[in-house]
């Protein structure tokens, strides 16, 4: 049996219905912008300064690995957040959970900006840093799935891919804001950065959180959830139902996600470390390249979302995974040219084609794969498990491989293997472009 969200509003004024959809999309997207900003500034700080501030008494390579390890902890916490908030999002509603996740993420980020460093309180500094990173990860783990489901369940069938991709634009927009803030901070004298400048991006998140909560509080609950609630069709244990009753779909979701999430964090975390240390490039250049690439994705992600409504979701994964396989070795060869033009163009092309193509349809495709009573849990948990594996561990593995093997060949091979997993998942996934939402 199927449920089409637009059908519930057939008696509603079309103009009012369009305005409602736009409001839901805007509220969901603004939240994801803030969430990604909060999450990404940590990655940049881990790559640039946290090894000196929180892990100063060990070898430089090990210090960088430790800083990236604290970064990975947030990813490892994301499946927990996806499971917890997915459960309650499927049990008590999408809207209320989105308010909680936004506040949780913001509190964790703001408090990182207030932390004393290792030089001030010793071992307690990295312990507190990792604790707050876990809080960040739990918050983001529940955020994305709720935003994606809310938009999907309000959207008309023939535009679900496009509207869902607007949620995904939150990533490049958050990345643009985070990069701009860090670009400003990176121009300060290093002594000022290490003393107090690094705190600015984290403290600024308080303003963004207040704005996000204000916008989200007036959004209507999902009509699909209200229908389920009225029919008493809610799942008692949605996360367990996902794992035990829909294991194939769950593992397909993980496989679809794993290549693009590894690829994008290679570009935004590992590449910052590699370019500024091994290649000796200035921090300002690599941050500028990431900034431009993110700005391009603000345009290409909605374009790919629209394309997913025309040709389907699966073809974008085939193209994106094949691009990753073909570009895994050239990525580093072009970076080693060390010219600003080569660095910027390489990051721009790699970001849109290796990440944007597959990332754009995810906010639509993942929830579409699951029935309404487990949709929040299924989309969130599958997405976040892949993010923990691909996004959290790949920069650490890549840094270790490059450091101990003295080159990037091992990194390229790792990216190719992950792309093959996504290619396989896309082969076994079903196409949902023309399906009504599963009830």
Contact between 227 and 375 under an 8 Å Cβ cutoff? The reply is no
Q: Cα–Cα distance between 162 and 166 in angstroms, integer?
A: 7
Residue 374 in tokens: 């487990």
Residue 363 in tokens: 């906010």
Q: Cα–Cα distance between 170 and 160 in angstroms, integer?
A: 17
- DSSP-based three-state secondary structure for 360: coil
pLDDT tens sequence across 251-272: 999 999 999 999 998 888 788 8
pTM: 0.84
Outline where DSSP puts E strands in 13-131. Answer: none
Please state the CATH superfamily assignment of the domain spanning residues 2-438 in this structure.
MFS general substrate transporter like domains (1.20.1250.20)
State the average pLDDT over residues 344-361.
96
Q: Cα–Cα distance between 201 and 214 in angstroms, integer?
A: 21
Task: Write the DSSP symbol of residue 431.
Answer: P
Could you tell me the CA-to-CA distances from 15 to 22, 39, 158, 243, 363 in Å, in that order?
11, 36, 17, 40, 24
| pLDDT of amino acid 130 | 84
Quote the radius of gyration of the chain (alpha carbons, Å): 21
Contact between 144 and 78 under an 8 Å Cβ cutoff? The reply is no
Could you give the residue ranges of the DSSP H alpha helices within 49-59? 50-53
pLDDT tens sequence across 46-105: 767 777 787 676 656 666 666 666 666 777 888 898 999 998 889 988 888 888 888 888
- Strands 437-438 vs 2-3: parallel, antiparallel or unpaired: antiparallel
State the average pLDDT over residues 298-306.
96
Residue from 92, 127, 99, 130 nearest 28 by CA: 99
Sign of the alpha-carbon torsion through 108, 111, 116, 121: negative
């Amino acid at each position: 049996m199927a449920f089409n969200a637009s059908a519930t509003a057939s008696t509603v004024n079309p103009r009012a219905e369009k305005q409602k959809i736009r409001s839901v999309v805007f509220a969901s997207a603004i939240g994801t912008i803030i969430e990604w900003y909060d999450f990404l500034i940590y990655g940049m700080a881990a790559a640039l300064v946290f090894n000196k501030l929180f892990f100063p008494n060990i070898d430089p390579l090990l210090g960088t690995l430790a800083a990236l390890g604290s970064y990975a902890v947030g990813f490892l916490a994301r499946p927990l957040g996806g499971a917890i908030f997915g459960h309650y999002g499927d049990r008590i509603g999408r809207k209320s959970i989105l308010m909680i996740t936004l506040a949780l993420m913001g509190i964790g980020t703001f408090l990182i900006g207030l932390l004393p460093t290792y030089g001030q309180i010793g071992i307690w500094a990295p312990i507190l840093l990792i604790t707050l990173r876990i809080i960040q990860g739990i918050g983001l783990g529940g955020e994305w799935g709720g935003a994606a489901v809310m938009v999907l369940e309000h959207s008309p069938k023939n535009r679900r891919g496009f509207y869902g991709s607007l949620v995904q634009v939150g990533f490049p927009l958050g990345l643009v804001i985070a990069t701009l803030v860090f670009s400003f901070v990176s121009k300060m004298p290093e002594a000022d950065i290490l003393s107090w400048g690094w705190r600015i991006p984290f403290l600024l998140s308080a303003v963004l959180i207040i704005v996000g909560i204000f916008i989200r509080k007036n959004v209507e609950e999902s009509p699909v959830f209200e229908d389920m609630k009225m029919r008493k069709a809610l799942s008692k244990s949605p996360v367990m139902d996902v794992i035990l009753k829909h294991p194939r779909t769950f593992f397909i979701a993980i496989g679809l996600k794993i290549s693009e999430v590894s690829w994008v964090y290679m570009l935004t975390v590992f590449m910052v470390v590699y370019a500024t240390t091994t290649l000796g490039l200035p921090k300002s250049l690599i941050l500028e390249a990431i900034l431009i690439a993110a700005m391009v994705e603000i345009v290409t992600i909605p374009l790919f979302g629209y394309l997913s409504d025309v040709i389907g979701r699966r073809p974008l994964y085939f193209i994106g995974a094949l691009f990753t396989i073909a570009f895994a070795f050239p990525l580093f060869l072009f970076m080693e040219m060390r010219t600003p033009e080569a660095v910027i163009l390489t990051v721009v092309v790699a970001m849109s084609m290796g990440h944007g193509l597959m990332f754009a349809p995810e906010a639509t495709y993942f929830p579409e794969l699951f029935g309404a009573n487990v949709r929040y849990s299924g989309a969130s948990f599958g997405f976040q498990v892949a993010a923990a594996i691909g996004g959290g561990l790949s920069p650490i593995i890549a840094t270790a491989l490059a450091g101990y093997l003295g080159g990037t060949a091992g990194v390229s091979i790792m990216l190719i293997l992950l792309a093959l997993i996504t290619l396989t998942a896309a082969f076994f996934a079903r196409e949902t472009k023309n399906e009504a939402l599963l009830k």
